[in-house]
Amino acid sequence: MNSNLSKVYTVHFETLGCRLNQIESEGGASFFEKEGFSINMEPFTSKTSLKDDIVLSVINTCTVTSKAEQKARRLIRLLLKITPNACVLVTGCYAELDQKIISAISDKIFVLPGSKKSLLSEIPAILKVFLQKNIDFQSKRIFLLVVLFQNIYLFGLSQSMFQFLLNFPPPLFLKL
């Protein structure tokens, strides 16, 4: 693990569905690990204790059946409950089909459609810069992470552009 982060932050991955989703989740986890994040891939259940050290929960979804969609929504709600200091990034087939339904569950959710899953590789480096700035206001951190991910998705925000925005006096998007 390349620990350029002064504090070790944890990213949690959950995978629903096929073997391809499992392989993609493992690949996504490796991007975060290369940037110094600790990875948790142990599935959470309703008996899992609160995990307040997790900064991001990623769920790779499936949509083979309506049961799969229901299971994904249940897991999303569980992650929101167990990881109160994290935003939840939902990707995969279900995220491709029902982005509005998923986004409506909570403002702590960012939906990355399965067709844009390759953008997941850009998030770790940008998230690392964000966390290194020691932004302490926890209640706004989750909102800012969601905004950050939306900018990556919508505008292809690069790490250098994000660094520029963070250093531009005053950081406009930090004034909430």
Check residue 107 and give its pLDDT: 83
Q: In whole angstroms, what is the distance from residue 149 CA to residue 112 CA?
A: 9
**Position 78 pLDDT exceeds 50:** yes
Q: Please, which residues have CB within 8 angstroms of residue 170's CB and are 6 or more apart in sequence?
A: none
Instruction: Give the angle subtended at the CA of 40 by the CAs of 34 and 41, to the nearest 5°.
Output: 105
DSSP strands (E only) in the chain: 10-15, 38-40, 54-61, 87-92, 109-113
Check residue 137 and give its pLDDT: 45
Token pair recorded at residue 16: 């629903």
Residue 151, judged by CB atoms within 10 A of its CB (0-12, 13-18, 19+), counts as middle
- What digits encode the pLDDT tens for the residues 108-152? 888 888 888 888 888 888 788 777 765 554 545 555 666 666 666
Please tell me whether the peptide bond between 169 and the residue prior to it is cis, using omega within 30 degrees of 0: no
**Position 174 pLDDT exceeds 50:** no
Q: Sorting pLDDT into bands at 50, 70 and 90, what band is 5?
A: low
Please state, as a whole number, how many other Cβ atoms lie within 10 Å of the Cβ of residue 48: 14
> Tell me, what DSSP letter sits at residue 133?
T
Residue with tokens 């209640």: 139
DSSP strands (E only) in 72-157: 87-92, 109-113
